[in-house]
Amino acid sequence: MGGASEFARLGLEDTIVRALERLGYGPPTPIQERAIPHLLAGRDVIGQAQTGTGKTAAFGLPLVQYVDPADDAVQGLVLTPTRELCIQVTQALRAYGELRGVEVVALFGGVPVREQAVRLAGKAHIVVGTVGRVLDMIRRHHLLLTDARFVVLDEADEMLDLGFLDEVRAILKRAPQGRQTALFSATMPDEIRRLADDFMLEPVEIAVPAPTLAVDTVAQYRLDVDERDKPEALVRVLRAERPRQAIVFVRTKIGVDRLARRLADAGVRAKTLHGDMSQGARDGVMIAFKSGRERLLVATDVAARGLDITGVSHVVNYDIPNSPDIYVHRVGRTGRAGERGRAITLVTPRERRELQAIERHAGVTLAPWSPPRPPGARQEGMPETAASAGNGAPGRTAEDAPDVGPEGAHEPSARRGDRRRGRSRRRAKLAANGRRARLLLRGGRAHGVEPKDVIALLVDGGGLEHDDVGRVRVLELYSLCDVPGERADDVARAVVGRRLGSTVAAAEVLP
């Protein structure tokens, strides 16, 4: 026995184990090992676990098994803080419950209430929704929780940070008294602890260690700087590093907007992400960054929590994080999928104690940052693995770098020439191929999708030739590709409803 088949010993049904095997799951993660048996036994569970530890399956698999497919009523409810997480959880639960005939309905803003009310009026065994839209649907009497005896709060601390806790309490008061409740949170602030005390019955508490940092794939540096000089120091770092894709972490929402303005003044293009933005604006930034159309993101920790991107070459801690765990979580967003990454932390004189705590916790010593040398050159005082991280992920060219200033600023003439030649080649290729459009498809690695599956879908279902499909990129839940611009809308309509891996494809043409 091995791989996904090991889930059977946790008490999961054969149909669910087979679904996991089709999805390519490996053995259970620690949070799954510990939470699933308790949830199957009917216990309330508090799970303290970071994003990326497998917590969706930890609560989702017992929930799918709990549901009676013959009963059309809403039997389970999952509350999420953001639309992005709502979509991710919905797709995961649909995949887990596909062989059992479990229907999952997503409720989130930006979609007409009438459409979601129609879905609820049919089969809706499990509802996954954002807090605001769920409460709205309850008050409109479209969502009845009379039979919802399994309730999950996912990323409860983010609900707290976004100011949703009063709405969460209002929803829980409308759920049956004898329900089973699961609460998952990366941290456990006092407010979340009080929520658990008020609405959970003798919960089993499970805490899994924060993910450790893969120091052999992430080169970590510090840059000592005065507070007033931080914006200029960041611009200097970006121009020297020339990241393929980078996330700059800032502690507060106000700080994110202020820094973005400073970067714009310096000629650096960046997108922002924080909790005060509208959901539509956040979704747009998420999709643009995940697709690679935007390469520099300035974000708070809460807003960036749902991002799962393998192409991030650099992380910059503009503000040193409040805790060592957050540092590990931030830096863990680079150096993924076998690629090397670089992490640079700006440290003011008042923050040296926090830096020492981070170094003890992560088991690393941050070396002084200096502009990267050519690949293969060893940086003084750095182990070979860190120095070999070079200027970012392997194969990065100047064309991959974000816009970090006026053309040619602070660049050797040879590099400027390479960039101009690269742009000329790209323009010539586009002129030869005609206008291209970027297509976003539902279905990614989580559904067993590979690039060849995307091409097959567009050829067999969309009527394209193999040569028409370019730049295929498979993400966790979505896939992206280029198609001829004049046929993009027709292709998007043609592939809707067809199979893509283990899910049903949907498509949209990105602007």
What integer is the mean pLDDT of 294-298? 90
Q: Do 363 and 372 form a contact (C-beta atoms < 8 A)?
A: no
**Which of the two residues, 362 and 132, has the higher pLDDT score?**
132
pLDDT for the residue numbered 154: 94
Average pLDDT over residues 245-260: 91
> Between the CA of residue 328 and those of 182, 232, 332, what are the distances in Å?
26, 25, 6
Taking residues 183-204, report their average pLDDT: 92
CA distances from 187 to 10, 46, 128, 282 (A): 26, 11, 22, 23
How far apart are alpha carbons 304 and 158 in whole angstroms? 11
Averaged pLDDT, 168-190? 92
pLDDT score of 167: 95
83 neighbors 277 (Cβ within 8 angstroms):
no
Residue 305 banded pLDDT, cuts 50, 70, 90: low
pLDDT of 50 over the 90 cut:
no
- Contact at 8 Å (CB) between 248 and 270? yes
| Other beta carbons less than 10 A from residue 167's beta carbon | 18
Written as six digits, the tokens of 408 are 């040619």
Residue 53, pLDDT score = 72
pLDDT: which is higher, 76 or 440? 76
Range in 72-81, 103-112, 259-268, 371-380 with the lowest mean pLDDT: 371-380
pLDDT of residue 387: 32
Name every residue whose Cβ is closer than 8 Å to that of residue 354 and which is 6 or more positions away in sequence. Answer: 320, 321, 322
Domains defined along the chain, listed by start: 3-207 (3.40.50.300), 218-405 (3.40.50.300), 432-509 (3.30.70.330)
Between these two residues, 431 and 73, which has the higher pLDDT value? 73
Q: Which of 42, 359, 51, 319 is nearest to 184 (CA)?
A: 51
| Angstrom distance (rounded) from CA 80 to CA 414 | 50
- The token pair at 115 is 């459409």
Question: For residues 217 and 12, which has the higher predicted lDDT (pLDDT)?
Answer: 12
> What are φ and ψ of residue 92, in 5° steps?
-65, -45
Tokens of 293: 């159309």
- Nearest of 425, 445, 218 to residue 338 by alpha carbon: 218
Check residue 27 and give its pLDDT: 85
Task: Supply the pLDDT for residue 378.
Answer: 41
Name the token pair of 474.
């498979």
Least confident of 32-36, 216-220, 304-308: 304-308
| pLDDT tens for each residue of 143-168 | 999 999 999 999 998 888 778 899 99
233 is written with which tokens?
A: 């120091």
Out of 107-116, 217-226, 304-313, 460-469, pick the least confident. 304-313
Instruction: Report the pLDDT value the prediction gives residue 345, as an integer from 0 to 100.
Output: 96
pLDDT of residue 213: 52
Distance of CA 45 to the CA centre of its chain: 24
Rounded distance between C-alpha atoms, residue 79 and residue 205, angstroms:
19
Is 300's pLDDT higher than 50? yes
| Long-range CB contacts for residues 191-200, cutoff 8 Å, separation at least 24 | 191/160, 191/165, 192/156, 192/157, 192/160, 195/153, 195/156, 195/165, 195/168, 195/169, 196/46, 198/169, 199/169, 199/172, 200/44, 200/46
- For residue range 339-369, what is the model confidence (pLDDT) as tens digits? 788 999 999 998 888 888 888 777 788 999 9
- Alpha-helical segments (H) within 200-252: 230-241
pTM flag (> 0.85): no
Q: Which of 64, 151, 152 is nearest to 101 (CA)?
A: 64
Q: Is the pLDDT of residue 432 over 90?
A: no
Give pLDDT, residue 434.
60
Say if CB 389 and CB 219 are below 8 A apart: yes
Coil vs helix vs strand at 57: helix
Nearest to 385 by CA among 148, 182, 216: 216
Paired with 479 in beta bridges are 441, 474
- Give 366-370 contacts, CB < 8 A, sequence gap 24+: 366/220, 366/221, 366/222, 367/220, 367/221, 367/222, 368/221, 368/222, 368/223, 368/224, 369/221, 369/222, 369/223, 369/237, 369/344
Long-range contacts of 107-110 (CB under 8 A, 24+ apart): 107/133, 107/134, 107/137, 107/143, 108/83, 108/133, 108/279, 109/83, 109/133, 109/279, 110/83, 110/279, 110/280, 110/283
Q: Ranked by mean pLDDT, which of 90-99, 277-286, 297-306 comes out on top?
A: 90-99
18's torsion region: left (phi>0), alpha (psi -120 to 50) or beta?
Answer: alpha
The pLDDT assigned to 35 comes to 96
Q: What is the pLDDT of residues 227-241, one digit of tens each?
A: 999 999 999 999 999
* Centroid of chain to Cα 106: 18
Cβ–Cβ under 8 Å, residues 295 and 246: yes
How far apart are alpha carbons 212 and 289 in whole angstroms?
25
Residue with tokens 């450790």: 212
pLDDT at 302: 64
Using the predicted structure, report yes or no on whether residue 423 has a pLDDT greater than 70: no
210 confidence band (pLDDT: 50, 70, 90): low
Average pLDDT, the chain: 81
> In the structure encoding, which two tokens stand for residue 414, read together?
């040879």
**What pLDDT was estimated at residue 51?**
64
Q: Which residue has the higher pLDDT, 474 or 197?
A: 197
pLDDT range class, residue 22, cuts 50, 70, 90? confident
Q: How many CB atoms lie within 10 A of CB 304?
A: 21
Q: Do the beta carbons of residue 259 and residue 248 sit within 8 Å?
A: yes
**Tell me, what's the pLDDT at 304?**
58
Report pLDDT for 283.
72
